[in-house]
Amino acid sequence: MSEALEELKAENPSAYPPSIQAGIPKLGDTPKGWTRYRLGNLLHKVERPAKLVGTQTYQLVTAKRNRGGIVAREVLRGNQIKTKTQFYVEAGDFLISNRQISHGACGVVPASLHRAVVSNEYTAFQTAAALDPEFLNALSHSIYFQQTCFHSSIGVHVEKLVFRLEDWMGWEFDIPPLEEQRRIVALLRAWDETIEQTERLIAAKRRRKMALFQKLFSNLPKRPLLEAADVWFSGVDKKSRADETPILLCNYMDVFHNSRITSQIDFMRATASKSQIADNSLRKHDVVFTKDSETSEEIAEPAVVDEDIPNLVCGYHLAIARPWDGVGHGPFIAQAMRHQAIRWQFSRLANGVVRFGLTLEAIEQAELFLPSLPVQERIAAVLDAEDLMIEGLLKQAKILRVQQRGLMQKVLTGERQLDERFDDFAPSILASAVRHA
Q: What are the residue boundaries of the structural domains of the chain, listed by start?
A: 37-174, 221-370
pTM exceeding the 0.85 threshold for the entire prediction = no
User: Which of helix, strand or coil describes residue 170?
Assistant: coil
Ramachandran area for residue 312 (φ above 0: left; ψ -120 to 50: alpha; else beta): beta
Instruction: Identify which of 92, 106, 229, 232 has the alpha carbon closest to the alpha carbon of residue 165.
Output: 106
pLDDT value at residue 425: 60
pLDDT value at residue 437: 42
Q: What superfamily does domain 37-174 belong to in CATH?
A: DNA methylase specificity domains (3.90.220.20)
Residues whose CB is less than 8 angstroms from the CB of residue 10 and which lie 6 or more positions away in sequence, other chains included = none
Contacts 24+ apart (CB under 8 A), 108-112: 108/69, 108/70, 108/133, 108/134, 108/136, 108/137, 109/61, 109/70, 110/69, 110/70, 112/72
Instruction: Identify which of 128, 3, 107, 114 has the alpha carbon closest to the alpha carbon of residue 64.
Output: 107
Compute CA 306 distance to the chain's CA centroid, rounded to the nearest angstrom. Answer: 25
User: Which of helix, strand or coil describes residue 136?
Assistant: helix
Burial 357-381 (b: 16+ CB within 10 A, else e): bbeeebbeebbbbbbebeebeebbe
pLDDT value at residue 431: 53
Instruction: Identify which of 383, 303, 296, 379 has the alpha carbon closest to the alpha carbon of residue 345.
Output: 296
Neighbours of 352 (CB within 10 A): 14
> Does domain 221-370 match CATH 3.40.50.1000?
no
Instruction: Identify which of 292, 289, 231, 286 has the alpha carbon closest to the alpha carbon of residue 262.
Output: 286
Beta sheet of 312-314, edge-to-edge order: 268-272, 245-250, 312-314
pLDDT value at residue 424: 66
Give per-10-residue mean pLDDT for the chain (437 aa): 37 62 89 96 96 94 93 94 94 95 94 96 96 95 94 84 93 96 91 92 94 92 96 86 88 92 93 91 96 89 95 94 96 95 93 87 95 97 95 92 89 86 61 48
